[in-house]
Structure 1
Amino acid sequence: MRSTLDELNRELAELRTLIDSIAPVDKALSEHQDSVVQRYRTIRRRFDEAAVLVALYASFERFAENLVDAYVQLVAKQRPYRELPSMLVKKHMAESAEMLRRGRLGEGRYIGLNEVDVVKNLLSCIEGNIPYVLNMPAIIAHDNNLRYNELQTLFATAGIKELCVCVCRAEDLIEWHARSQDIQPPSEVPNEALRARLDDLVERRNEVAHRGRSPDQLLGTEEMRNLVDFIEALARATFASTTAMYLKQRYVEPGEATPLHRTTECYKRGTVVVVERPQCILRLEQPLFVLAEKAPARWGRIISMHVDDTPVEMVDETTDAEEIGLELDFKCPKSTKTAHLFVLDVEDDAVWCPSGRPFNVAR
């Protein structure tokens, strides 16, 4: 799953480079005396905006589809077909039949699939084979652009319900909203603010793609940067919300994650917690995560441990202490009642970065 976000980040970096180039290129052209070149300035400016809007939306749509694809395939490895969400199974059956009906297999998003493959895959699912193969283009199919409602429906069908409620509580989106509105960060982003911003981006993209835009409606470079920042924050929030469901199903429900019971609220802006000594071994660099109801996941690693104010590298059954101080490389929510901390024995590379800056560290 993590690779979907990595790819989006690379594309957003390229878009930021394009936006940064607009002003210096326009300045260079403005100094040219040729009247033909001056006409190019207006044309170029219009197409700069078109390129940003179309590419930005395309990157986000591809990210959302690829994230759902990756999530569903991970879930399918853990569950028989009959235990997948009923909405997912229904959509898989209906859209697979639609793929056969349309007769466009082997084209566009259906490259690599033919009629025999689609039928074989359906049969492997219906017969209860393990492993089975899903027709993934059927899973990520959607008829409309990913406005607020369509985005929520795409993820709900995969089993991730109330996505937009969840992302509005993500730290990344809250920080973006506070910066863009020049206000103090709220506890969560108003749902209608998310809806308006996402739907406006889609509408602007459609105006460019289908009707064009007049020069007096062009976005400034700061507005373009804000749009890129919005999509980055929304994508990170969407990834963290999807990760919350994945960690819950993959590790918490089967009992493969050990809960850590916090005895106090957090310290050092949420990066230090005090927990009861668990039955399992704790060690430096061990992966942890936090889950809360209808909220994105937070995750990272243990970067230091203290027993009675003494730094240690490991805690086990021989450790003579009732409480352990843990310093984390991410912020843990304050509440000990609604936010639950878990530790894993091994990192899951679908979520954890193998090296470099942890996902959840504030930028």
Structure 2
Amino acid sequence: MSLEDFKKEINQVREYLKHIEYVNNLANYSNNKLTQDLLSDISEFKILKEHYKNFSTDKKIFEYKATIISLYGLLEKYIETWIKEYLNSFSILVVSYNDIDKIIKDNHFKLSLKLIDSITSRGLPKFQHLKKEEILTKLNQCITNAESYTFNTDAFIISSGNLKHKQIVSLFESINIKLNELLCNNQTLADHIKDENQIQNIKNFPADFLYGRIDDLVERRNEIAHGAETLNILSKSELEPYIKFLEKYCQAVFEILTEQFIKQKSIHKFQKIENVINVFNKTILAFEIENYTIKVGDTLIVESQEGHFCEKSINTIQLDGVPHQEIIVTEKKNIGISVEPKISDKNTFYIVKK
């Protein structure tokens, strides 16, 4: 499930609020005599105006509740989905279960047992599609057939209810991703927080301050879900910062998972270019290579000084100043490849293991 799917759904909330505003404007659109005369014979408008007059306060409460529940639903849905998708992709990337990070393996075992307990003793509706036998089979396969394993991905989201930021961080810890540290280095979210709070550096601020909108959203959702009296209703203009923050927060989470997956690819499927000669014009990488076949369209992984990872397609290859579509190198050669900008001589580079 892509980032675009998330953005589409969060924009549906925005459109819902816009629709409410249009309806409100129409219901109030009868302040002058000319308008009253024009609309006096439209029975549907009379009904709308009367209904709006009688339902106005309750309507605001209902719309507020619907918006908060929808926003929290998106948070929970996409955090859970992306974690599960990350693990599924991880199991395809890393062929043998024995090569999986110890933290993930330990948590997989522990959380799978917890998942079994949840579906047998607690009967959580969220996991009603699962059977304990299937969970045990997957666990057993990790031990007995390590080359053909599958994660119990639902086990890693078993504690995902009431997703305040601290709980989201905990979920990511179970897959060995330090979310707080990575969020501070994510430009998408960091720039938004800086602009919103008029601060220059977010690294010295506690998580409660930085991600407080997420926690407040969860608290509001809990109040609604538990039937508490709704007193502090947010208007459309007050809801927009929550929507914007949720959008940037989830985009940052998606970007972090994408980068972390590329990092895992650099470890398990790629090899580091040890002998980098130089980088020219932020697009051309010159390096030494031997016993390797490289062609246009191959992937280069780039790691920045700050630990960010991205993939770039190789656009051109040159050997001794002559362009090639493919080069088969048997002895040490210096070649140049071009990629989309920008790269730096401070980056670390990886090419596919051959």
Please give the secondary structure, in 1, of the residue aligned with 2:302: strand
Letter of the 2:64 counterpart: E
**C-alpha contact (below 8 Å) 1:263/1:276 kept by paired residues:** yes
**C-alpha contact (below 8 Å) 1:57/1:201 kept by paired residues:** yes
Q: Does 1:275 align with 2:291?
A: no
Q: Does 1:247 align with 2:262?
A: yes
Deviation, 1:300, is 4.8
Give runs of aligned pairs for residues 162-241 of structure 1, distance below 5 A. Answer: 162-181=178-197, 186=201, 190-192=205-207, 193-212=209-228, 214=230, 217-241=232-256
Which residue in 2 is equivalent to 1:297? 309
* CA distance in structure 2 between the partners assigned to 1:94 and 1:57 by the alignment: 28
**C-alpha contact (below 8 Å) 1:262/1:273 kept by paired residues:** no
Give the one of 74, 82, 88 matched to 2:104. Answer: 88
* CA distance in structure 2 between the partners assigned to 1:206 and 1:86 by the alignment: 35
Q: Which runs of 5+ in 1 are unaligned?
A: 346-363
Which residue in 1 is equivalent to 2:75? 60
| Residue-by-residue CA offset, 1:148-180 (whole Å, 9 max, x unaligned) | 2211111111122x2121122112112322442
Deviation, 1:120, is 2.0
Q: Does 1:133 align with 2:145?
A: no
More helix by share: 2
**C-alpha contact (below 8 Å) 2:270/2:351 kept by paired residues:** no
**C-alpha contact (below 8 Å) 1:57/1:205 kept by paired residues:** yes
Letter of the 1:205 counterpart: R
Deviation, 1:49, is 2.1
**C-alpha contact (below 8 Å) 2:160/2:171 kept by paired residues:** no
Which residue in 2 is equivalent to 1:25? 23
**C-alpha contact (below 8 Å) 1:96/1:138 kept by paired residues:** yes
* CA distance in structure 1 between the partners assigned to 2:275 and 2:216 by the alignment: 43
Evaluate the alpha carbon distance shift between residue 276 and residue 60 of structure 1 in structure 2; reply closer, same or farther with a 3 A threshold: same
Please give the secondary structure, in 1, of the residue aligned with 2:74: helix
Evaluate the alpha carbon distance shift between residue 325 and residue 341 of structure 1 in structure 2; reply closer, same or farther with a 3 A threshold: same
| Residue-by-residue CA offset, 1:73-115 (whole Å, 9 max, x unaligned) | 2222314334433343333333333333342698633243223
* CA distance in structure 1 between the partners assigned to 2:138 and 2:237 by the alignment: 48
TM-score (norm 1): 0.73
**C-alpha contact (below 8 Å) 2:301/2:349 kept by paired residues:** yes
Please give the secondary structure, in 2, of the residue aligned with 1:159: coil
* CA distance in structure 2 between the partners assigned to 1:97 and 1:187 by the alignment: 38
| Residue-by-residue CA offset, 1:238-282 (whole Å, 9 max, x unaligned) | 2222222222222345435757948469x7xxxx43422564646
| Residue-by-residue CA offset, 1:20-59 (whole Å, 9 max, x unaligned) | 2232122123346655422322222222222222111221
Which residue in 2 is equivalent to 1:327? 340
* CA distance in structure 1 between the partners assigned to 2:137 and 2:238 by the alignment: 49
**C-alpha contact (below 8 Å) 2:165/2:211 kept by paired residues:** yes
**RMSD after superposition:** 3.8
Please give the secondary structure, in 2, of the residue aligned with 1:132: coil
* CA distance in structure 1 between the partners assigned to 2:277 and 2:128 by the alignment: 50
* CA distance in structure 1 between the partners assigned to 2:211 and 2:277 by the alignment: 36
* CA distance in structure 1 between the partners assigned to 2:317 and 2:106 by the alignment: 51
**Aligned pair count?**
326
Deviation, 1:124, is 1.6
* CA distance in structure 2 between the partners assigned to 1:321 and 1:136 by the alignment: 45
**C-alpha contact (below 8 Å) 1:174/1:189 kept by paired residues:** no
Please give the secondary structure, in 2, of the residue aligned with 1:199: helix
Evaluate the alpha carbon distance shift between residue 179 and residue 85 of structure 1 in structure 2; reply closer, same or farther with a 3 A threshold: same
Give the one of 86, 109, 117 matched to 1:101. Answer: 117
Q: Which runs of 5+ in 2 are unaligned?
A: 30-44
**C-alpha contact (below 8 Å) 1:106/1:114 kept by paired residues:** no
Deviation, 1:142, is 0.8
**C-alpha contact (below 8 Å) 2:279/2:286 kept by paired residues:** no
**C-alpha contact (below 8 Å) 1:287/1:343 kept by paired residues:** yes
Please give the secondary structure, in 2, of the residue aligned with 1:142: coil
**Percentage identity across paired residues of the two chains:** 20
Which residue in 2 is equivalent to 1:340? 348
**C-alpha contact (below 8 Å) 1:106/1:113 kept by paired residues:** no
Evaluate the alpha carbon distance shift between residue 223 and residue 314 of structure 1 in structure 2; reply closer, same or farther with a 3 A threshold: farther
Q: Does 1:117 align with 2:141?
A: no
Please give the secondary structure, in 1, of the residue aligned with 2:130: coil
Letter of the 2:302 counterpart: V
Which residue in 2 is equivalent to 1:147? 164
Q: If you compute each CA radius of gyration, which structure gives the higher value, 1 or 2?
A: 2
